[in-house]
Structure 1
Amino acid sequence: MGKKQMGFILGFLFLDGLLLCIATEVHYYDFVLKDANFTKMCSTKSMLTVNGSFPGPTIQARKGDTMFVNVINQGTYGVTIHWHGVKQPRNPWYDGPENITQCPIAPGSNFTYKVILSTEEGTLWWHAHSDWTRATVHGAIVILPRGKYYPFPKPYKEQTIILASWFKGDVMAIISNSIASGANPSIEDGYTINGEPGDFYGCSNGTLSCEI
């Protein structure tokens, strides 16, 4: 192979890599932590949510993109957010473990996370990383591949499914009582699929949410 041919190939590879870098995008999201009332399984309780929803919002990007998530804490407790399954190369201070990589986001304050996507593809999730707040503060991260969307014919429909435990009591009170007494914490009262209890639970159709 001649020098000109080698130079052309190297130049093409460099240009191709440069184009891939240029193609990445930056996304911005606001997460407002606040209490909301929910009625499920024949009882009503107030719990911490993101943007008043359970589960929280799904955020979406493509492989290699960067996301900035501004977390505004209007709740009662200090909270951090972890981006589960995201490697965060050379970016550990935005990973989210409370009192390890950052202090909790205090009530009445905000913190903006820089979430760097590298090799991840598929559906991951984000969740609170502070005691049991993760039981109510969580949601999906959908990371699409770059280039061709599917390696097969596009399906008719996509649906993100999030499974969760449901506690009728206040999750923070449950863990606090357990620590104070030394007893095991109360187990969940049921399970939800995308925030809704199954048909085998009482009052399964009586779901109501109301922001405070």
Structure 2
Amino acid sequence: MKFLIVYFSLLFFICGFVAVHGKILRQRFVLQDAPYTRLCGSKSILTVNGKFPGPTIYARVGDTVIVDVINRASENITIHWHGVKQPRNPWSDGPAYITQCPIRPGTNFSQRIVLSDEIGTLWWHAHIEWFRATVYGALVVLPNLGDQYPFPKPAAEIPIILGEWWNSDIREVLREGLQSGSDFNASNAFLINGQPGDLYPCSNSDTFKVKVDSGKTYLLRMINNVMNNIMFFKIANHNLTVVGSDAAYTKPFTAEYVAISPGQTIDVLFVANQQPSHYYMASRPHNVAGNFANTTTTAILEYTGNYTAPSSPLLPTLPDFADEVPLQFHSTAAKLSDRGSPH
């Protein structure tokens, strides 16, 4: 009897602790087609709230996020919370016809994101057909109030989402690939935060830019939404210090570049310690076989202050597309992390 009293007292204490420290947050996701222009042409793509990439969700460790998904598209849809463990909550996890029925056109469904010990960068994306190509966004899990990062506090945190753009309708890309039984058509561009960068045609004015102050430290929350390629990423003349991966802290290690796999997230710090100027942030694929686009997407790192900007930012030298250095990078990262990769 005493054992039962102690057991239930402890259970009620734990439940009360979670209730105090975990908040319930709410988001509204409207799935709808919207017109977008890239690479000199326009087309309609499936979006969340008309945004591409979609909105970033911010929460804290132990929070629960309820996302009201309203499907105004003409296709079935589901949203997957990539890397969230979802304890005892598989029906909100998102994989269509596996743990969850799709959300039909003209209907709504409230998906529940139950956060437990995840911390750092995760992401969300469509989990049916190939709609992940345009339906995706960041999910940032911050420390509890009063807790500190186990690394220098950054002056700013910037989500960096790598993606792809097809000039063709993504539905046709999927259909043609399934009918042929061969590789899917390669994308026409890689993207950083939805923009190809000014090395591609008709893209100069919309290149994604990050402004930094000399001497300050910044945190990039990196996500690879590219369908099938490991991606190299590098900032000209700036080292990157990896401090987290897949919603867990890692022991810090510094590298000239990162190699990030499809679906993976990596948190990296960099210090704005170079001569004030403009520097390219660049990304290109790693691929040793198959059909892929051997092109480079860019964003621009711009220092604040008074100086004469260069006519063109400095471009970093990235590893060759067939280089095996991703194996070395991933081996180092795995040794410094306590967790396996999320799904």
Compute the TM-score of the two structures, normalised by the length of structure 1: 0.86
Check if 1:136 corresponds to 2:131.
no
Aligned match of 1:162:
161
What CA deviation, in whole Å up to 9, does each residue of 1:147-181 have, x standing for no partner? 31323442211111111011111111111122233
Q: Distance in 2 between matches of 1:175 and 1:204?
A: 26
1:205–1:199 CA distance, 2 compared to 1 (3 A): closer
Give the SS at the match of 2:153.
coil
Give the SS at the match of 1:162.
strand
Give the letter aligned to residue 100 of structure 1: I
Shift of 1:138: 0.4
Give the SS at the match of 1:105.
coil
Counterpart mapping for 1:9-24 below 5 A: 18-19=16-17, 21-24=19-22
Q: Distance in 2 between matches of 1:152 and 1:124?
A: 19
Shift of 1:53: 0.6
Residue range with higher mean Cα deviation, 111-120 or 169-178:
169-178
Q: Retained in 1: the 8 A contact 2:24–2:65?
A: yes
Shift of 1:183: 3.8
Q: Distance in 2 between matches of 1:185 and 1:46?
A: 20
Aligned match of 2:189:
190
Check if 1:95 corresponds to 2:60.
no
Give the SS at the match of 1:140.
strand
Shift of 1:15: 6.5
Give the letter aligned to residue 179 of structure 2: A
Give the letter aligned to residue 71 of structure 1: V
Q: Distance in 2 between matches of 1:138 and 1:194?
A: 10
Give the letter aligned to residue 36 of structure 2: F
Q: Distance in 1 between matches of 2:205 and 2:43?
A: 13
Check if 1:115 corresponds to 2:96.
no
Give the SS at the match of 2:204.
coil
Q: Distance in 1 between matches of 2:13 and 2:101?
A: 42
Q: Retained in 2: the 8 A contact 1:54–1:195?
A: yes
Shift of 1:37: 0.7
Check if 1:38 corresponds to 2:54.
no
Residue range with higher mean Cα deviation, 154-163 or 16-25:
16-25
- Aligned residue pairs total 197
Aligned match of 2:228:
none
Q: Retained in 2: the 8 A contact 1:25–1:66?
A: yes
Ranked by relative contact order (alpha carbons within 8 Å, sequence separation 6 or more), the top structure is 1
Structure 1 unpaired stretches of 5+: 1-10, 208-212
1:76–1:16 CA distance, 2 compared to 1 (3 A): closer
1:15–1:73 CA distance, 2 compared to 1 (3 A): closer
Aligned match of 2:278:
none
Aligned match of 2:203:
204
1:74–1:23 CA distance, 2 compared to 1 (3 A): same
Give the SS at the match of 2:20.
helix
Q: Retained in 1: the 8 A contact 2:90–2:100?
A: no
Q: Distance in 2 between matches of 1:155 and 1:22?
A: 28
Q: Distance in 2 between matches of 1:80 and 1:189?
A: 26
Structure 2 unpaired stretches of 5+: 1-8, 207-343
Check if 1:175 corresponds to 2:174.
yes
Give the letter aligned to residue 189 of structure 2: G
CA RMSD of aligned residues (A): 2.1
Give the letter aligned to residue 154 of structure 1: K
